[in-house]
Amino acid sequence: MAFAENGNWQIGTAESDADFNFGVAPLPVGEDGKVYLGGEGQGIGAFSKNPDLAWDYLESTYFSFDGQLVALDNVGSIPSRTDAASDDAVTSNELIAPFAQSIEQNGANYPAEVVPPESVADLQLTVGQAWSSVIGGQSTPDDAANQVLSRLTPLLAEQ
């Protein structure tokens, strides 16, 4: 048996290419752990020539119940709306349901309030490099965790 922390974006490749049995389980974050819903950020530029049209598009796609189910069906995006995440298309899918359950039970805003906005990119880089160093065998989990903690302290300091 093997385990990998990954995301719903890998499901399509796994379904088409994996030559072994696989499944999805919620991350074991405990009672106080948090999970962040990743995904695509959308916005309307300050100098957009058609901001009303852009807003209509966002409302009918990313922000609507039906639009979120279309994104689920087309690209595997987990709905961020609780009503869409509770739809049978999500709850009956054994590969998607654990992701939605994790968000429902342990979802949190990103970044956490303790992370100053100007530190977000550095925090992501620090944690990502530590994670990769363990996976790649360059660091032990203990060493990587200690390194992360020492580097995060200044990033989390009030600015």
Radius of gyration over alpha carbons of the chain, in Å? 19
pLDDT tens per residue, range 109-158: 888 888 888 998 999 999 999 999 999 999 999 999 999 999 988 888 75
Residue 159, pLDDT > 60, answer: no
Phi-psi region of 137 (alpha: psi -120 to 50; beta: other; left: phi over 0): left
DSSP H helix total and E strand total for the chain:
8, 0
Three-state DSSP state, 35: strand
* Helical axes 141-156 vs 120-135, angle rounded to 10°: 180
Is residue 38 scored above 80 in pLDDT?
Answer: no
In angstroms, the first-to-last Cα distance of the chain is 45
- What integer is the mean pLDDT of 62-81? 89
Find out whether the peptide bond into 26 is cis, omega within 30 degrees of 0: no
Rounded (10°) CA dihedral 95, 96, 102, 107: 160
Q: Tell me if the pTM is above 0.75.
A: no
For the segment 91-106, the average pLDDT, to the nearest whole number, is 91
- With a pLDDT cut of 90, the percent of the chain lying above it is 49
Residue whose token pair is 């088409």: 16
- Please report, rounded to a whole number, the percentage of residues in the chain having pLDDT higher than 70: 99
